[in-house]
Amino acid sequence: MVALTFLAFAALFAPSVTAAPAQAFSVPHVDPTKFLCQLPILKKWVCPLKGTAALNRQTPCGTAGGIQDPQGAYRFVVKYGNAARWAPSTVASTWALPNGFTNTSALPLACPQPGLDPSNYSEDCLSMVLYVPPSLSLTSSAPTLVWVHGGSFVVGSATGVGLDGSKLAIATNSIVAVVQYRLGALGFLAPNGQNNLGVKDVITALKFLKTVIPSFGGSSSKITLAGQSAGANMIRALLAVPSASNLFRSAILQSDPMNFGFIGTTTQNTLISNFTGQVNCSGGDSACLNALSTDTIINEGMNVFSWAYILDPAAGRNQPLRPVLDGSLITSPLDSTGSFPAVSKPLLITSVSNEAGPAIYGGFPALPENMFAPLCEATFGPERAAIVVAQPLYSPVPAADGSIDARAQLQQVGTDYLWRCSGWTFARSWVSHGGKAYVGEYIVGATYPSNDWVSYCAKAGVVCHEDDIQIVFGTTPNPTSAQSALATEMQQRYKAFLSSGNPNTAGVASWIAATATDVHPILLGGSGEAILGACDPSFWGSGVQYDYQFYAQ
């Protein structure tokens, strides 16, 4: 009835189809919305909500109360799901503030993780933060960007540094939802055979969003997933979940460490066996498992994380707790080790120019050149290392004073094999099987706080892992002109992508879609395309196998 009424009134202000004769004066444009907003029956639907109505939304789950974020958007926090320890989550049926809070300005507690005071986390942590631009009306049918945080699946939250989605929501005229999910052993080492609980949490969040998002002016069919690092890895896992395909229509993967691949069930069972041995509980002893303190679960989960590579080299050194290729939820490896499925969703796939900078320069003092080969061998094994060391693109890089620090070579190798080249390989496979992908590399960034202690990451022209986050969100403190320009550009591109699946829009350089033979990696913050370098398909992925190939995950 409302839609019919709207159409009837809109017709009153529609331009006539009869061409008017040329006149010596112009007729001023009349915005029909201004007239429609004066009509009480339509005002609620076609006009942006103001005051109390804007901060108290009626949803299918109950009244959502919020506040106006200091940066301008309306902010709503909510508990999207419920879950018992080591059980799959279920969608919340009522709108409730997280953690039993009564103050709508309170932000949710994080999921249990190392490095936080226990007062700052809770196992009851399936929460999200919604940022709604004030421009939306209930009939806006705006897109929603769902941000999945990174942190190697052991740390992170919806309230991490730089993740205030207010500026991003306003710039893209979209709803931004920042979600959190179970981490560490609670999300990825369930002793009772419940794999992928963290992945299932994000699915639960998407189901909740599809129900409530129209109450904020969003469209349940215009949801884009976006995330960085492990968050992007989570999204890639969801791309391999057929049952989740209808929950989102496009995805943005920033700095996904695709070299690892999903973890195999054999490796996963090895890690779980070690965990249950450490906590002295069998997988079927629910009483023992439920009696464990959260602190014990965190600590023993991190012990597994630290020793996983020794327990099974296929786990990898840096992100051993990750989505499991279980064959039931996640049904495809989405790589060359199995049949790649037919796909259709559009993707943005980006990396930064110095992904491995924090790990290499933060983990080692200056290294003589003769350390390059043995460190490669410790990482890749002798056969793969010999090929890497012989690659001319990884030859010594003399500094201005003529000295050689092997960290420069190791940084480039790490960036290529963990992120850059493996991401380009994935893009080629994606477009070869029906999807569309746009590939980019950030050469301008904003040093993320976790990189402040790595002097290398503060050097001019260096963009380390995580340094793209505050650019995208527009949350860089005291940005330079280059950072501001790139933030504006990326938000324009994201606005276009959220609406159409294409990041091209007026006023920015053309971003050419990847093909099966040329990924056309645009330089973000520069001009032109990134050089191919060692990302030639004949080298990484062929001459030197990625870890997911080498360990036959």
Catalytic residues: 229
- What is the phi/psi pair of residue 456, to 5°? -55, -40
Please check whether residue 183 is in contact with residue 154, taking contact to mean a CB–CB distance below 8 angstroms.
yes
- As a whole number of angstroms, the distance between CA 52 and CA 73 comes to 14
* 3-class SS of residue 499: helix
Per DSSP, what are the bridge partners of residue 145?
A: 176, 224
**Which residue do the tokens 């959260």 mark?**
294
The secondary structure of residue 15, as a DSSP letter, is: P
CA-based nearest residue to 345, from 230, 211, 253: 253
- What is the phi/psi pair of residue 408, to 5°? -65, -40
Q: What is the DSSP secondary-structure string of 153-216?
A: TTS--TT-TT---HHHHHHHTSEEEEE----HHHHH--TTS---HHHHHHHHHHHHHHHHGGGG
- As a whole number of angstroms, the distance between CA 438 and CA 514 comes to 6
Distance of alpha carbon 525 from the chain centroid: 20
CA-based nearest residue to 229, from 110, 148, 336: 148
- As a whole number of angstroms, the distance between CA 289 and CA 86 comes to 9
CA-based nearest residue to 440, from 527, 504, 530: 530
Q: β-pairing, 142-148 with 175-179?
A: parallel
- As a whole number of angstroms, the distance between CA 47 and CA 61 comes to 23
**For the chain, how far is it from start to end, CA to CA, in angstroms?**
55
The two structure tokens encoding residue 343: 């796909």
- As a whole number of angstroms, the distance between CA 231 and CA 466 comes to 11
Per-residue exposure over 496-535, b if at least 16 CB sit within 10 Å of its own CB, e if not: bbbbebbbbbeeeeebebbeeeebbbbbbbbeebbeebbb
The three-state (H, E, C) secondary structure of 209-222, written as one string: HHHHHHHHCEEEEE
CA-based nearest residue to 200, from 179, 216, 215: 179
The CA distances from residue 484 to 414, 447, 471, in Å, are 29, 14, 8
Please check whether residue 92 is in contact with residue 122, taking contact to mean a CB–CB distance below 8 angstroms.
no
* 3-class SS of residue 302: helix
- As a whole number of angstroms, the distance between CA 248 and CA 454 comes to 37
